[in-house]
Structure 1
Amino acid sequence: MDAHVNDGGSLRFNGIGKVFPGVKALSDISFVAHPGSVHALMGENGAGKSTLLKILGGSYIPDSGNLQIGERPMDFRSAADSIDSGVAVIHQELHLVPEMSVAENLLLGHMPARYGMVNRQMLNRRAAELLKELAGEIDPRERLGNLSLGQRQLVEIAKAMSRNAHVIAFDEPTSSLSAREIDRLMTIIGKLRDEGKVVLYVSHRMEEIFRICDAVTVFKDGRFVRTFEQIDQLDQNQLVTCMVGRDIQDIYNYRPRERQGEALRAEGLLGPGLNEAVSFTAHKGEVLGFFGLVGAGRTELLRLLCGLERLKAGQLVLDGQVLNLKSPRDAIAAGILLCPEDRKKEGIVPLGSVAENINISARHHHAQLGCLVPAQWERENAERQIRALNVKTPSPDQPIMFLSGGNQQKVILGRWLSLSMKVLLLDEPTRGIDIGAKSEIYQIIHNLAAEGIAVIVVSSDLMEVIGISDRILVMSEGALTGEVAREQADEARLLQLALPRTRG
């Protein structure tokens, strides 16, 4: 193992292959990323991008091929090997300890000590220096678990960048960040490029790829497709066609529908995250979009709608009946179902199989003698949902943690489709999902609406919420600030409603 390599040079992948049980994740991947360049890795979920970054980070050992930095071949057998060789990988799954402080997470493994004890003053000072440029508003002494998902993402980025690595890889770094935080990150990535670093960048957000990247390599089904050395000579349609093998003209799949009667009515809701009473109506057969900036109160509203938080005031009326939601169990029984924003933390059982994750909520409806669930029903329901939602998995027994983000999201939808549903709540349903899988998710949303289900979608992707919604409600600072019909929706109008109000 060649340690402490941080002397520049290109990063080469030479014939990298990786096989998991039942899945060939990578096959003969070869390309070069150059110093002083931001190199995008693009492809649909399951194309192999994250697997390649885990090999680069030492989490996985390739079954064939090798890595090369400059003229030196690398043989990473652990994450420590990768770090010692001047590599920093910022994975989409955060590797942080929620119970520890921000400072402790940033300097874990090399905390400053004095007389055998952690020097807290020095620890917090060093952490503040690391956070200054990227997230100066975060208190190093704060317990990490108290931070938002976006703030935790910034801490993970700051932690990786503190190592002064020559090769830095970002896997969906902006998936939970606000527009202001994204601007900061883009500035820092530009500086890394100017310093001669090799930067790999994975994102499904096309605008970011064309904003910050110099070159792009496309993967499909674990195989290398093509490298475009000059992204400024490429347009978005060419890149999408290369990724998915077909031209996607309208990824939102929107078709006009006739709105039906009232499904859910919220009257004067107040609770955690809401600073003014919120009232609205969602109709059967309607896709109702909620847009707002980070901290607007959208996620908090959904938590009230599904019983995760208790109302302080107001009431919910479903099909004309007043609800008294004391827990998510009550909401599920009423037919109000949530797909949460952080699907890895709150949506899936990572060690469980695909079938278990699909069946887990509907089992009690099919239990015999109070506890036994027929194996035939388990198998048939899982296979039915996998087929209906086009879940890409080698078998229903595959652990869900090995599926791509898009397929995990489909499994969560399959769980709720196994139950009787009246209102579906979707919080950032396509976060971290590629453009092909997004199109499939949108089609599922429209199919559900066509069946008379009220679908409420929270999204920070402005084009997404405009593209799929029949009607859009805008939130800012814990309050509803406007309602916009699909025909009148445009970016400027929605952003104006979403910006914090000037207080006189």
Structure 2
Amino acid sequence: MPNEIILELKNIKKFFGNVAALSGVNLKIKKGQVHTLLGGNGAGKSTLMKIVSGVHQPDEGEIILNGENIRLQNPKDAQERGISIIYQELSLCPNLSVAENIFADREPMNGIFINKRKLKDITMKLLQEIEMNLSPTTLVKDLSISQQQMVEIAKAISFQSEVIIMDEPTSALSSRETEVLFNIIDKLKAKGVAIIYISHRMDELLRISDEITVMRDGAYVATVKKNEANMNNLIKMMIGRELNDIYPKRDYNLGTETLLEVSDYTKKGWFEQINLQLKQGEILGIFGLMGAGRSELAQGIFGITNPETGTMKIKGKEVKIKNPQDAIKNKIAFITENRKEQGLVTSDTVKRNITMLSIDKLLSKFGLIDDIQENEVAKKAVLNLNVKTSSIHQTVNNLSGGNQQKIVLAKWLETNPDILILDEPTRGIDISSKNEIYRLMRQLARKGVGIIMISSELSEVLFMSDRMLIMRDKKLVTEVAHSKTTQDEVMLYATGGK
């Protein structure tokens, strides 16, 4: 029955120590609708969804599912009751296959043995449903981040749940994959499935939501229907103030010096015949669909992989970047798209993460780390980047995504780079944190740092770039000026339509 309430949360409270993560949240989720949760990093959205999915138990409040007051003991209990979740941070086992990840602990059996043929068949059917051309036997570690995200989506759908929670499901997806996901959501809605959707992408939620609930600082702010919502009012509710000029404009002149020049860079299957230049103080955007070769090119410039042919010049001098250590010595910094696995030691402190690349500068004459100096460096970085943390000694894993991303930036800025490569710099962070990172990019460029920005968010590349390079099939296909192009034109180049 349409609009029938399937899940209701009443006065949900959750404390971690003396800190109130949730302070009396109320929510009503209806069958066959997309209910979006909107709020900044630290607003309590993910904590609330962990309660709904059985990871945490509320300290106070009620969970009512299909009219029954329940208490979810653990995630398996939630799944058995028809609630599944797609986490923002991937939770797959890299050394298992796609099929093994999707149906872990639920494999079809033939006696005491797994029926591998049936497992492969049902996985293939599921992958076809989400338009994913992939072998069920492929190991997850061999997949790209976006492919792994699609496997997470397939896993959630496989439970045949009544309520599916999607926490930033498109943060690693291309525009085409996002469209596939939206089609899947439409089909699920038609079956009466309720979707709880968390996203920081305003254009997405205004498109697919039926209702939008705004949270701030662990508290419920308001619920509005999509046709009553507009971006400015949602942002004001979310952060408690107006947020003008999300994309700060350039108010400085570009330098004349060429910091980086890459000529005929080629590694078959990775990137081919790449020619690009990066000027002092320039933000050079690179856009392309999944598989276009954007991240692979960044890895080639930074020395994670080596080209088979081609040359690189830094400030006019030819250099050989054989590994990341060579890149760092040549004052190149690289923030990868996967901050959890490649950018942070999440079990370590804010301080140690910030100083890990510049620890040599903090050694005393006896070869020991000068703890006082290290503390000063970390405190200064936290202050300059407005990192919200209780202490420089706090564990990074306990921080929001936006603050984690700032710590990755802080770590690399301590190396004083001339060239900064940003691969998906605002993936999975709220609009306020995005604005802070955009402003930091402008500040760095004003000081003469050359920035290469790779992003799947087309509006981000358009408004932040001084020039845009568009990639398709591992090659650069054209260069455009953001002031002389449109999103439609960029997509035509990226898809091969122009």
Shared fold (TM-score greater than 0.5)? yes
Distance 2:409 2:346 in 1: 16
Q: How does 1:288-367 map to 2 (within 5 A)?
A: 288-367=284-363
Which residue, 481, 484, 492 being the options, matches 1:485? 481
Structure 2 equivalent of residue 282 of structure 1: 278
- Give the partner amino acid of 2:100: E
Which residue, 104, 107, 122 being the options, matches 2:103? 107
Structure 1 equivalent of residue 129 of structure 2: 133
Give secondary structure in 2 for the equivalent of 1:401.
Answer: helix
Q: How does 1:3-22 map to 2 (within 5 A)?
A: 9-21=5-17
Give secondary structure in 2 for the equivalent of 1:10.
Answer: strand
What's the CA shift for 1:180? Answer: 2.1
What's the CA shift for 1:148? Answer: 1.3
Structure 1 equivalent of residue 248 of structure 2: 253
Distance 2:156 2:164 in 1: 8
- Percent identity over the alignment is 38
Distance 1:53 1:256 in 2: 42
Give secondary structure in 1 for the equivalent of 2:15.
Answer: strand
- Deviation digits for residues 270-298 of structure 1, max 9, x if unmatched? 12544531111101111111111111111
What's the CA shift for 1:117? Answer: 2.1
Structure 2 equivalent of residue 5 of structure 1: none
RMSD, matched Cα? 1.6
Q: 2:55, 2:75 within 8 Å by CA — same for their partners in 1?
A: yes
Structure 2 equivalent of residue 242 of structure 1: 237
Structure 2 equivalent of residue 403 of structure 1: 399
Q: 1:135, 1:154 within 8 Å by CA — same for their partners in 2?
A: no
TM-score by length of 2: 0.96
Which residue, 144, 147, 150 being the options, matches 2:146? 150
- Give the partner amino acid of 1:246: R
Distance 1:190 1:373 in 2: 56
- Deviation digits for residues 344-390 of structure 1, max 9, x if unmatched? 12111111111111111111222235741111111111111111001
Q: Which moved more, 1:490-499 or 1:16-25?
A: 16-25
What's the CA shift for 1:492? Answer: 2.5
Distance 1:79 1:428 in 2: 30
Q: 1:15, 1:27 within 8 Å by CA — same for their partners in 2?
A: yes
Structure 2 equivalent of residue 3 of structure 1: none
Q: 2:265, 2:271 within 8 Å by CA — same for their partners in 1?
A: no
What's the CA shift for 1:21? Answer: 4.3
Give secondary structure in 2 for the equivalent of 1:58.
Answer: coil
Q: Which moved more, 1:190-199 or 1:408-417?
A: 190-199
Distance 2:365 2:101 in 1: 48
After the TM superposition, list the runs of 4 or more consecutive aligned residues in structure 1 that deviate by more than 6 angstroms.
none
Q: Which moved more, 1:430-439 or 1:321-330?
A: 321-330
Q: 1:272, 1:309 within 8 Å by CA — same for their partners in 2?
A: no
Which 5+ residue runs of structure 2 have no aligned equivalent? none
Distance 2:361 2:303 in 1: 21
Q: Does 1:36 align with 2:32?
A: yes
Give secondary structure in 2 for the equivalent of 1:277.
Answer: strand
Distance 2:198 2:361 in 1: 42
Structure 2 equivalent of residue 427 of structure 1: 423
Distance 2:7 2:334 in 1: 42
Distance 1:156 1:333 in 2: 38
Q: 1:16, 1:28 within 8 Å by CA — same for their partners in 2?
A: yes
Which residue, 198, 205, 209 being the options, matches 2:205? 209
Q: 1:424, 1:454 within 8 Å by CA — same for their partners in 2?
A: yes
Q: 2:469, 2:476 within 8 Å by CA — same for their partners in 1?
A: yes
- Give the partner amino acid of 1:48: G
Distance 1:301 1:272 in 2: 11
- Deviation digits for residues 405-454 of structure 1, max 9, x if unmatched? 11111001111121221100000111111111111010000000001100
- Give the partner amino acid of 1:300: E
Distance 1:69 1:430 in 2: 35
Distance 1:151 1:135 in 2: 11
What's the CA shift for 1:328? Answer: 0.8
What's the CA shift for 1:115? Answer: 4.2
What's the CA shift for 1:123? Answer: 1.1
What's the CA shift for 1:74? Answer: 1.9
What's the CA shift for 1:501? Answer: 6.7
Q: 2:265, 2:275 within 8 Å by CA — same for their partners in 1?
A: yes
- Give the partner amino acid of 1:499: T
Q: 2:214, 2:222 within 8 Å by CA — same for their partners in 1?
A: yes
Distance 1:255 1:501 in 2: 31
Q: 2:362, 2:374 within 8 Å by CA — same for their partners in 1?
A: no
What's the CA shift for 1:9? Answer: 4.5
Q: 2:235, 2:242 within 8 Å by CA — same for their partners in 1?
A: yes
Which residue, 369, 384, 387 being the options, matches 1:373? 369
Distance 1:35 1:275 in 2: 46
Distance 1:138 1:67 in 2: 38
TM-score by length of 1: 0.95
Which residue, 424, 438, 443 being the options, matches 2:439? 443
Q: 1:128, 1:136 within 8 Å by CA — same for their partners in 2?
A: no
Aligned residue pairs: how many?
494
Which residue, 412, 416, 440 being the options, matches 2:412? 416
Distance 2:479 2:184 in 1: 37
Which residue, 89, 101, 107 being the options, matches 1:93? 89
- Deviation digits for residues 197-240 of structure 1, max 9, x if unmatched? 22100011112112111001001111111111x21122122111
Distance 1:252 1:134 in 2: 34
Give secondary structure in 2 for the equivalent of 1:429.
Answer: coil
Give secondary structure in 1 for the equivalent of 2:313.
Answer: strand
